[in-house]
Amino acid sequence: MQNQDDILSVEVFSGALWQSTMVKNILIDNNVKAFLENELMGTVAPWRVTSGGFNPVRVIVSNLDYEASIKLIEEFNNSEPQEETDDWQQE
């Protein structure tokens, strides 16, 4: 079992609020506990949390989930967009 002192918070992604929220939701859907850092200030005053306001909102996970998180994020980044269908209108 891991010692509490061995568990750390690590950043796995940074971006705009909408991007970071999508990544966080993907992680949570795959049983990885994640939270956003600078969620409010990254939107209201992004230049205060990062230089130039670039990628102000961070996604944070436990270091125990780091590798799984990176794999899920890479899979998301490399996925092809799905084509829109009008299936909902055919019902």
Which residues are CB-neighbours of 75 under 8 A, at least 6 positions away?
Answer: none
| Domain range 4-77, CATH class | alpha beta
23 touches 15 (CB < 8 A): yes
- pLDDT tens across 67-77, in order? 999 999 999 88
Neighbouring-strand partners of residue 62: 9
pLDDT number for residue 87: 64
Residue 83 has pLDDT above 60, yes or no: yes
Domain boundaries, the chain: 4-77
- pLDDT tens across 40-50, in order? 777 777 777 77
